Structure formats: structure tokens, C-alpha cells
Amino acid sequence: MLAESTTPVLVDFHATWCGPCKSMAPALEQYAKEMSGKLKIVKVDIDKNPHAATQYGVRSVPTLVLFKRGQLAWRQSGALGLGQLRSTLAPLLT
């Protein structure tokens, strides 16, 4: 999916027990609505998909990883608010 996607993909590595992940979830949902058609957001539960977390070197959650044309373009560990998502990702999505 990542390699074939012409649309940038933001992967949210999270866990159900993670407080910061839960607090960031509404901002990600809103951002997904705002960016519909311009950005795909995929949620990956690290407890259900430990191989994916290991493959991308995820050591803490939440971790966001942006892929453009199948290539890693940006990564961030720690929760971000809606404004931070917008300002951080905007230059990367142009």
C-alpha cells in the first residue's frame, strides 16, 4: 500500500493503553477530514502489529510517520495537537 500510493500516507503508530494517543485521536480525525483526498491516515496498533512497529523502529507511542511516494518523509514521536499537525505537515504535503 505505501509503495503504490500516489497520495501521501500518515501512519499513526498507537496503543489502546496510551493516554497521549487517546488525547491526539480527535485531532487526527479532524485532520483526516480536512485533508480528505490529499492525505491518507492509517492507524497501526503496535500491540496487534508488533512486526510493523519493529520494522519502522517505533520505540514509543504515539509515533507518526509520513510516507510520500513510498518513501519515509517525516517522523515524530509524541502527541501533536491539530494546529501542530497542520503547521508541521503543510510544507511536507505541497
- pTM to 2 decimals? 0.93
Q: Is residue 18 annotated as part of the catalytic site, yes or no?
A: yes
45 annotated active-site: no
Confidence (pLDDT) at 6 = 86
Q: Report pLDDT for 3.
A: 62
Buried b (16+ CB within 10 A) or exposed e, 39-59: bbbbebbbeeeeeebeebebe
At 5 the pLDDT is 77
Tell me which of 18, 35, 79, 85 is the catalytic residue. Answer: 18
Domains of the chain, CATH where assigned: 1-58 (3.40.30.10)
Region for 69 from its dihedrals, namely left if φ exceeds 0, alpha if ψ lies in -120 to 50, beta otherwise: left
Catalytic residue, from 10, 11, 15, 21: name it.
21
d(Cα 68, Cα 26) in Å, to the nearest integer? 24
User: What is the block-wise mean pLDDT of the chain (94 residues), using blocks of 10 residues?
Assistant: 80 97 97 95 96 95 95 95 96 90
pLDDT at 56: 93
